Each structure stands twice: as structure tokens, then as C-alpha cells.
Amino acid sequence: MTMVAIFTGAGISTDSGIPDYRGPNGVWRQDPGAERLVTYGPYMADPDIRRRSWRMRLDGPVLGAEPNVAHRAIAAYERTSGNPLRVITQNVDGLHQAAGVSERKVLELHGSARSVVCTACHARSTMADALDRVRAGEDDPACRACGGILKSATVMFGQRLDPVVLGTAMSIAKATEVFVVAGSSLQVQPAASLAGIAAEHGARLIIVNAEATPYDPVADEVVREPIGTALPALLDRLR
């Protein structure tokens, strides 16, 4: 058996209708101002930023998105390969789980956009419920339990990754025999460093991404083909 870790970024979900962030047509390149709507300091300090952020989520594609062929290929690999698998994702869309990957096999580095959390009492509820409240006229819904500020249960810009989650990801990177990067520009640290950690600890590093990444020089294989065709073919080879 060969332990395989798959590290996924926004590029794996673009075929599900969710735009990436740093590609040529990425969200932050098209509308740099939108980044403030998901930056912790401005979000907490400015009610208008929060109102705009909730409106953005009303129109966002995440909750209605469906897994694509790449997500399904990973789920099929888990079911049929017989190899130990872990998925580490920068994505917050929940599409790996929706495709059928076991919850316990998916590590969400940046949290989940399908939930909201109170910044005061840490009570959690669903994003669907929060957006229903926005549609009903609450332009900045507060926590039902304590009245605190609600936010998406994701790691915003200006917030640190959960150290337990990051530590688990690092342990996986050190232990795995194959580390596949799928759809990540490997620009955001510390998450991007996992590719280097895996390579340093002897893993075969395979990068599947539309654009060059800083870790291409240390990769054993770099694939520039579309993820929807390249990843299923790669996983077939890794069986």
C-alpha cells in the first residue's frame, strides 16, 4: 500500500462554477476591493463591510455548487484503490465531502463556508440559515444566542490557521509517500509550505495546476493539463 495525500486549491472547483482567486480571471484580480469583505479587521470593525459581505454570499456560487469529475475521481480513488488517502484542502466549499470522500479523510485548512460562527460565544449554525435571515431583511444578522457578530466559519485574511489543523496537515505531509497538488498556486503560506515539507521528507511530489508554482522546481512531476482530465488519469496511475 502507498499512502497518498492530495492537496487541493481553488482550481479544482472552477469546473463546479466556483471562481478561483489568483488565476488570470481570479476574484482578487478582477475586483481587488472584494478582498476587504473577507478580511477580519475591516469585517469586525465596519457594519457596512459586513452588510456587503452578506450580500456577496447571497449571490455566491458555493452553496449551490455540485462536485465535478475531479472531486468524484478522488472519492472513487478512496473507495477502490486500497491505498491510505488523506485530502488536505484550501477550499471552503465542502465539495470533497459532497462527492463522497469520508469526512474523517478531509482536512479543511481554511474552514467551511457552509457554516457560520459567532465571534463572541463561538456558537455555530448553518450558512443556509444565516442567508435565510438576510433574505428576510436582516442585513447584518447577529448571533441568536448572545447577539455577537456572526461570520462565515472560514479563516479570513488576517486570521491565523487553527494550529491543531495545521499541525495535522504537517504530520500528513511528513508521513505520506505521494503528495499531489491539484489546483493550487501554492502562494498562500503556511499552507503552501506543505508541498515543500512533503518533498523534504521523501514524498514523490506531483503538481497539477494551470500556472507555474514556486514549488515546481522541486516537484517530481508537473502537469499543466486541465484538472478535470489530468487528475482522474493521474489517480488511475497511482492505483
Residues of each annotated binding site for Zn(2+): 118, 121, 143, 146
Cα 166 from Cα 214, distance rounded (Å): 20
Q: Which residues are annotated as a binding site?
A: 118, 121, 143, 146
Given 96, 110, 122, 201, which residue is catalytic? 110
C-alpha closest to that of 114 among 138, 139, 131: 131
Cα 124 from Cα 189, distance rounded (Å): 27
201 is catalytic: no
As separate numbers, helices (DSSP H) first and strands (DSSP E) second, the chain gives 9, 9
92 with 109: CB under 8 angstroms?
no
C-alpha closest to that of 111 among 53, 159, 70: 159
Cα 99 from Cα 76, distance rounded (Å): 9
Cα 181 from Cα 164, distance rounded (Å): 21
Cβ-based neighbour number of residue 26 at 10 Å: 16
The three-state secondary structure class of 7 is strand
Is the bond leading into 214 cis (omega within 30 degrees of zero)? Answer: no
8 with 71: CB under 8 angstroms?
no
Q: What positions carry a catalytic annotation?
A: 110
